[in-house]
Amino acid sequence: MSPEEWTYLMVLLISIPIGFLFKKAGPGLKRWGAAAVGLGLTLFTCGPHTLHSLVTILGTWALIQAQPCSCHALALAWTFSYLLFFRALSLLGLPTPTPFTNAVQLLLTLKLVSLASEVQELHLAQRKEMASGFSKGPSLGLLPDVPSLMETLSYSYCYVGIMTGPFFRYRTYLDWLEQPFPGAVPSLRPLLRRAWPAPLFGLLFLLSSHLFPLEAVREDAFYARPLPVRLFYMIPVFFAFRMRFYVAWIAAECGCIAAGFGAYPVAAKARAGGGPTLQCPPPSSLEKAAALEYDYETIRNIDCYRTDFCVRVREGMRYWNMTVQWWLAQYIYKSAPTSSYVLR
């Protein structure tokens, strides 16, 4: 493993005990403490390149304030344009960012586009209420108000999934801050159930990468081998690639579970990335909260078994990087013109 991979793994593992510390904290400590930890990790791993994330956040917030009724498309254009500029820094003769900066920038792009879309939905819902002349009850997943600049910064730099994911909406983040009885939300047992395959996947990764190192394909001697041997070599290399991602995503999910992040009652039927699909009123007492059954489907990013043993490629893609798959479906595919088959 490279030094960057060891640093990456340490960030993921540190997030688990930190999650237990934040789980029972109040909303203020959760918001600003989690943001301080995330910003500290970003500064430690990205250094001065942290400025890229700050510019992206400020630009998105300015668009939200200026055009709340159409900020989704504007934020999408802004964040992806900056991402294109970010990827072309070396071509422009500017300092090349660290790999950690790239990870932060990718996850931040997803979060900011989602935030702009949520604000636009809130603005359109408020306009409909004013036009109809009466106020409706709270809609499922709707934000209570447009977040301020500091609230946007705290969401953007929250340490949960800051480099690896899973992606989560601002509404999911708010629900974590405002959990009525966080002590009643289970963490340890769900964490152990989610984490048990990770050591096995890690061992398989180390074994396969040792026997079939990726560096070998960059050597001239590799291309002197027969074609069947080279084709076979792709299988263990891709196997090691999957094992590495499995370990990283499981560790990231465990960091969320330790903090009680993304926990919803089973009755809410939460989806990966999107959160609850059914209205579920919050418990009114600690006893009722403890009696509920919870799941962490909102922050589930990988289904290892269904990914490896699926029948069709489409099924495999559905269970790989699940929160990003939801993001693509919600903010890209559904926004594409229905008459454009290529865009859809």
Return d(Cα 109, Cα 318) in angstroms, integer. Answer: 21
Enter the tokens of residue 125: 């819902």
Q: Which residue's structure tokens are 């108000």?
A: 145
Going by C-alpha positions, the residue among 73, 152, 156 that lies closest to residue 117 is 73
Confidence (pTM): 0.91
pLDDT reading at 340 higher than 90: no
CB 334 within 8 A of CB 75: no
Judged by DSSP in three states, 287 sits in helix
Six token digits for residue 124 = 């359109």
pLDDT of residue 315: 81
Per-residue pLDDT tens for 193-229?
999 999 999 999 999 999 999 888 888 888 889 999 8
Which pLDDT tens digit goes with each residue over 105-115?
A: 999 999 999 99
- Start-end of H helices in the chain: 3-23, 27-46, 50-66, 71-87, 99-132, 149-156, 170-177, 188-195, 198-211, 227-258, 286-291, 304-308, 313-318, 322-328
- Three-class SS state of 8: helix
The answer to whether residues 298 and 272 touch, using CB atoms and an 8 Å cutoff, is yes
pLDDT at 317: 83
In single-letter form, the type of residue at position 231 comes to L
Q: Look up residue 318 and give its two tokens.
A: 């559905």
Quote the pLDDT of residue 171. 94
At 233-255, the pLDDT tens digits run 999 999 999 999 999 999 999 99
pLDDT of residue 218: 86
From residue 241, give the alpha-carbon distance in Å to each of 32, 206, 342. 35, 11, 30
Q: What is the pLDDT of residue 20?
A: 94
Q: 121-162: per-residue pLDDT in tens?
A: 998 888 887 777 665 555 777 888 999 999 999 999 999 989
Max distance between CA atoms of the chain, in angstroms, equals: 76
